[in-house]
Structure 1
Amino acid sequence: MGGRKTLYVLGVLLLLGLNIFLYTKVSFIFKPLTEFIGTVALPVILAVVAYYLLRPLMKLLMKAGVGKTTSIFLLMILIIGLLVLLISSVVPFLVDQTKSLFMSFPGYWDKFITGLESYVESQSYLAPVYEDLKQRSSGIFGSVGSNASNVATETLSGFTKVLSAVTGITIGIITAPFILFYLLKEGEKLPKAFIGILPPRMRGGTRKVFHEIDDQVRAYIQGQLLVSLCIGVMLYIGFLIIGMDYALVLAAIASVTSVVPYLGPVIAITPAIIIAIVTSPFMLIKLAFVWTVVQLLEGKLISPQIMGKSLRVHPVTIIFVLLTAGHLFGVIGVIVAVPAYAILRTIVFQFYKLYKIRYNRYYASSPGSKRYKEDPVE
């Protein structure tokens, strides 16, 4: 850990912990900052995702001799045109299928529960457990009925929260294009401006950190969206082949949830399984076959070619990060958990590397290098 500098490092860690403790006692001072971050988080995330998707196209246009501002306006017009085409052609059909699915899903669910009840009642060892669950559920519904006023109040509060969330999302979507314009126009100046205010000795390492962060975020956003699109297309084709109801909606759900690694496919397959079970046992087998083929193609062919080893994060680590971020920050936390973890890990690794270079006389010394010296034999 650095020999004689260990006590110094421990003292720094102690002071850092003391500062964190003091900040927790005056957290109300930072409430405006947290409110600001919560307000701008959604439009900034949307703008950053669009920035990494459109930046390669902007560079291609600039190489072709088109000015930077003109390239940005052309890309904006292209995006608006694609959105208008999508809304006018695909969205109405998708909305109709979604409405039909929502109207039919209770029937599918009732058939699923009825089949489950008949199976459980036919198994003598499961009957007592099922009866106990029914009694508990009836007790819960009875207590809910006796507290109707509280239920109404909570419902109204929930509706208010939903309305507030919808308003925030709408404002975020409207604000995101303006942030995107300035990111495309001056986004590359931000790291340079930050590096310029640092001491000269820190600029080289900080520049390297920014470069690694940019590479990892770019690779993750572009790769993950492309992988999700491939999954949606393959599932839609597979669902059409096997005759699955609501193929487009189910494939769209799978494509969107696939943005979340590992947990997304589990969420996406649930409604498809329920529909397949109540349709026919053979449909469930066909669904399992299609899902297995798509997952094999995605895991063995598509993701390795598109994503590669850009993040170099162990799958178990990703699952723990997703669970923790979802518990702390909800849906937004799950979406940004992996790239945020990759950014934090890059920063920590760089600081640790600088620490080893400064304090550990054995680091960067390897056989054959100029700095390498054999330890004396004692």
Structure 2
Amino acid sequence: MAWWKEKCTYRYLFLSFLIGLILFFLYLIRGLFVPFILAIVLVYMLNPLVERMEKRGSPRVVAILILYLGVVIVATSLLMYGVPRMVNQLEKMVENIPLYTDQVEEIVRNIQKRFADSSMPPGVQQIVDERIRWVESRVLAIVRKSMDLLMALLSNLFYIALAPVLAFYIMKDLKLIKNWTRSIVPKELVEDVFYLARKVDDVFSNFIRGHLTVVVIVGILSSLAFMVIGLEFAAMFGIIAGIAELIPYFGPLIGAAPAVGIALLHSKYMTLKVILAVLIIQQVEGNIISPKIMGNCMGLHPLVIIVALLAGGHLFGIAGMLLAVPLAAIIKIIVSFVWRKLI
């Protein structure tokens, strides 16, 4: 029988058409990805606990609802305590922005005056002046992007609130979803597809659970340390330092930059204390916290991680740096699998 008359050929064609249709549909609703991404994060964080409770005899739906109740209690407590403090810090920061701006402008004027009074060649002096103006424009651009991101989060509160609902139904019917996926995949491909799915699942589970745990720990430690040394906006800078931990290698520098910048405007002694606090926390994180929680969960050489981070940052900015490492790990898994199949 000719290959175009075989039943499996039509099945492959239909499967390819179905995958293409799904991808096109996902492209059309790309603006709604936020609740789906947050739902997946919730599933990865909560599903292991749901499965443990289910093994101990608790119905799956009841286990999910109990965990949701715990999450709601913790989140409500954090919001009741944390939101007023964050609002107060934001209001104080807004009030202090003119003062900080004047201080920065004074520093810039002193630098420009120092270069103007020096015997530096005019061409070199012009380059230095251009670089100073470039730094000023970059800082302003970062501030504007931060404000845009904050406004975007506020405007998408409804979609963000959908994440727990989506996560509930995904966890509730997770076994049905797996069985349905197995039923539509051709039998001769089931083993390979699910092998790749397990490997990719391991990458995402290690990345999400491990990194989010490190983010929370570093955020709390940084906030407490900044409070103890008397840095303004300690909680805010602690949160920034924690979130920056999602970016390997460069994250600690990015997260520490705002705190060090504010400390510089106060005094050299405050700057020294902030730098020492950041160094101590990073030593604890690098030598104790991360090795115990994550280990080498991505299985990538440090050089590969650095190249992936640089490429992701160059192409897609901060979002690219956040996703560069897990995507690089997934590409490694797929390439290794295809290579083993070909040889």
Q: Any idea what the Cα deviations from partners look like across 1:116-145, whole Å, max 9, x if unmatched?
A: 4324533515695796379869x99xxxxx
Match of 1:48 among 33, 40, 44: 40
Question: Does structure 2 conserve the Cα–Cα contact (< 8 Å) formed by 1:216 and 1:310?
Answer: yes
Partner Cα distance (2:238, 2:149) in 1: 26
1:192–1:328 Cα change, 3 Å: farther
SS at the partner of 1:85?
helix
Partner of 1:132: 126
Residues 327 and 31 (structure 1 numbering): CA distance in 2 closer, same or farther, change over 3 Å? farther
CA deviation digits over 1:210-259, x for unaligned, max 9? 12221221111111011111111221222223222221111111112222
**1:245 equivalent in structure 2:** 232
Residue 68 in structure 1 maps to residue 57 in structure 2: no
Matched residue of 2:79: which SS? helix
> What is the root-mean-square deviation of aligned Cα atoms in Å?
3.2
Do structure 1's residue 57 and structure 2's residue 49 form an aligned pair? yes
Letter of the structure 1 residue corresponding to residue 83 of structure 2: V
The aligned counterpart of 2:248 is 261
CA distance, structure 2, for counterparts of residue 63 and residue 31 of structure 1: 36
Which residue number in structure 1 is paired with residue 296 of structure 2? 309
Q: 1:135/1:307 Cα in 2 relative to 1: closer, same or farther (>3 Å)? A: closer
> Is structure 2 residue 70 aligned with structure 1 residue 110?
no
Alignment CA distance shift 1:262-1:171 (3 Å): farther
Change (3 A) 1:253 1:276: same
**Aligned with 2:280 (options 293, 300, 312):** 293
1:341 aligns with 2:333: no
Structure with greater Cα Rg = 1
Give yes or no for contact 1:52–1:222 (8 Å, CA) kept in 2. yes
Change in Cα spacing, 1:93 to 1:121, as seen in structure 2 (3 Å) is same
Q: What's the offset of the Cα at 1:37?
A: 4.8
Residue in 2 that maps onto 1:87? 79
**Letter matched to residue 296 of structure 1:** Q
* 4+ aligned runs moved over 6 Å, structure 1: 133-137, 161-164
Q: Partner residue of 1:229?
A: 216
Give the count of matched residue pairs: 309
Q: CA deviation at 1:351?
A: 1.9
Seen in structure 2, the aligned counterparts of structure 1 residues 31 and 66 have a Cα distance that, compared at 3 Å, is closer
User: Residue 243 of structure 1: SS of its match in structure 2?
Assistant: coil
Distance in 2 of aligned mates of 1:135 and 1:215: 50
Change (3 A) 1:66 1:30: closer
Give secondary structure in 2 for the equivalent of 1:310: coil
Q: Which residues of 2 match residues 1-378 of structure 1 at below 5 A?
A: 33=25, 35-122=27-114, 124-125=118-119, 128=122, 132=126, 165-166=152-153, 169-356=156-343
Does structure 1 retain, via aligned residues, the 8 Å contact 2:39–2:166? yes
Q: Cα deviation per residue 1:314-350 (whole Å; 9 max; x = unaligned)?
A: 3333333334334444554443332233223222221
Deviation at 1:181? Answer: 0.9
Q: Deviations over 1:269-327 (max 9, x none)?
A: 22212211121111111111111111111112211111111101233333333343344
Query: How far did 1:267 drift?
Result: 2.3
| Residues 32-81 of structure 1: per-residue CA shift (max 9 Å, x gap) | 54643512321111011111111122122213321001111222222222
TM-score normalised by the chain length of structure 2: 0.78
Moved more, 235-244 or 118-127: 118-127
| Separation in 2, partners of 1:164, 1:301 | 37
Whole-angstrom distance in 2 between the partners of 1:235 and 1:67: 39
Which residue type is aligned with residue 339 of structure 1?
P
* Identity score, percent: 28
Higher relative contact order (CA 8 A, sep 6+): 1
Question: Is residue 55–residue 184 contact of structure 1 (8 Å, CA) maintained in 2?
Answer: yes
**Stretches of structure 2 lacking an aligned partner (at least 5 in a row):** 1-20, 135-144
Instruction: Work out whether residues 120 and 127 of structure 1, in 8 Å CA contact, stay in contact via their aligned partners in 2.
Output: no
Tell me how far apart the structure 2 counterparts of residues 111 and 168 of structure 1 sit (CA, whole Å): 33
Judge conservation of contact 1:191–1:210 (CA < 8 Å) in 2: no
Quote the residue 1:367 is aligned against: none
* Contact in 2 for aligned 1:219/1:307 (Cα 8 Å): yes
| Matching residue's letter, 2:126 | D
- TM-score, length of structure 1 as denominator length: 0.72
Q: Which deviates the most, 341-350 or 86-95?
A: 341-350
Q: Could you tell me whether the CA contact under 8 Å between 2:112 and 2:129 is conserved in 1? A: no
Q: Is the partner of 1:217 in helix, strand or coil?
A: helix
